[in-house]
């Protein structure tokens, strides 16, 4: 029997359609995680959670991007699956189905400066170094401006609190905003040369995990394993912060950090837990409400907090299952 080219085309098209129906929605064989900075002591608890998740069947790989914006774009483009950050302005502006699933840390940051300044008002019109555009430190800068009716000068961006502290010590900046750990290191080692400016309390998210909602639902088993592991680590850490150093894989990315960093992990997490940096249950509704209020005041969300729908920004199901 002679088969024409057109008939072959119809047969192939039919087979392809059958294959697509059979396979269904694409599921990740390996979760691709977009970090917003290179591994550091701040990420040790996260990697302990990844190790626990891996023992329960999670397969993953991670890529460190140079800043939060690139990590967010990698999620939007589908290049990566789960990202780090607080992409509220991007979620609202792009209307992409991106949702937060876990609060990794709160906005516990501190303005640190050279001796030129002694209070926040002194920074009116002065340059400041921040983590990234649209990130947590920029939201703090925006709220400082709003509350004190002032305006910073030129903003520059250097990811990583440790890198900004190095820039401060080197005289490359006179003012920045850094995390609890690096603030404490600065005070301990160079306290006579720099000032920590008085700062108001903040409970909103600094770092959170987020992903495309369609991807979350298509990969719910892996997402549940991951979130379960995060909750277990955070709850254990609240009871005993030294669990992080004891469970850090010596052959993993954290285990390869300098000995002086590894030797300070217990102190880092003891200080962080005491300083209220983490929520044992991943933030959930309390974090979402705090975020709506904070990021609307910071100018990264349009509209007042009461008018915003939390479900447009958070997907609570994995966290609810992990904490029930």
Output the pTM of the full model.
Answer: 0.78
Q: Give the integer Cα–Cα distance in Å for 282 and 235.
A: 9
**Residue 150 near residue 123 (C-beta atoms within 8 A):** yes
Here the contacts of 258-267 (C-beta below 8 Å, separation 24 or greater) are 261/40, 261/41, 264/41, 265/41, 265/44, 266/241, 266/242
pLDDT in tens, the chain (324 residues): 344 434 434 343 333 333 333 333 345 589 999 998 889 998 999 999 999 999 999 999 999 998 888 999 999 999 999 998 899 989 998 888 999 999 999 988 999 999 999 999 999 999 999 998 888 899 899 999 988 999 999 999 999 899 999 999 999 999 999 988 899 989 999 999 999 999 888 889 989 999 999 999 999 999 999 999 999 999 999 999 999 999 999 999 999 999 999 999 999 999 999 989 999 999 999 999 999 999 998 888 999 899 999 999 999 999 999 998
What residues have CB less than 8 Å from 273, skipping those under 6 apart?
237, 238, 241
Could you tell me the domains of the chain?
Answer: 31-107+204-323 (3.40.190.10), 109-196 (3.40.190.10)
Element (H or E) spanning 112, and its range? Answer: strand 109-114
């Amino acid at each position: 029997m002679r088969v024409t080219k057109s008939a072959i085309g119809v047969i192939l098209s039919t087979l392809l359609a059958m294959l697509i129906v059979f396979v269904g929605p694409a599921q990740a064989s390996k979760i691709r995680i977009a970090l917003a900075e290179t591994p550091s002591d701040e990420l040790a608890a996260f990697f302990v959670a990844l190790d626990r998740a891996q023992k329960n069947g999670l397969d993953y790989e991670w890529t460190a991007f140079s800043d939060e914006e690139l990590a967010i774009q990698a999620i939007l483009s589908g290049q990566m699956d789960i990202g780090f950050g607080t992409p509220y302005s991007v979620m609202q502006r792009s209307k992409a189905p991106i949702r937060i699933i876990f609060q990794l840390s709160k906005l516990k940051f501190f303005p640190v400066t050279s001796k030129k300044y002694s209070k926040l008002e002194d920074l009116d019109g002065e340059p400041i170094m921040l983590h990234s555009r649209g990130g947590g430190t920029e939201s703090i800068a925006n709220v400082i401006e709003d509350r004190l009716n002032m305006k910073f000068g030129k903003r520059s961006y250097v990811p990583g609190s440790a890198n900004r502290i190095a820039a401060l010590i080197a005289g490359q900046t006179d003012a920045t905003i850094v995390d609890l750990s690096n603030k404490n290191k600065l005070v301990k080692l160079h306290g006579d040369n720099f000032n920590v400016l008085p700062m108001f309390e903040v409970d909103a998210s600094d770092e959170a995990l987020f992903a495309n909602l369609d991807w979350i639902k298509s990969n719910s088993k892996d997402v549940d394993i991951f979130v379960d592991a995060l909750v277990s680590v955070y709850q254990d850490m609240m009871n005993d912060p030294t669990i992080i150093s004891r469970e850090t894989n010596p052959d993993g990315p954290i285990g390869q950090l300098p000995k002086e960093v590894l030797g300070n992990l217990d102190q880092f997490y003891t200080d962080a837990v005491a300083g209220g940096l983490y929520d044992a249950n991943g933030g959930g509704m309390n974090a979402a409400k705090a975020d709506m209020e904070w990021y609307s005041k910071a100018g990264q969300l349009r509209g007042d907090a009461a008018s915003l729908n939390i479900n447009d920004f958070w997907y609570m199901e994995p966290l609810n299952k992990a904490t029930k």
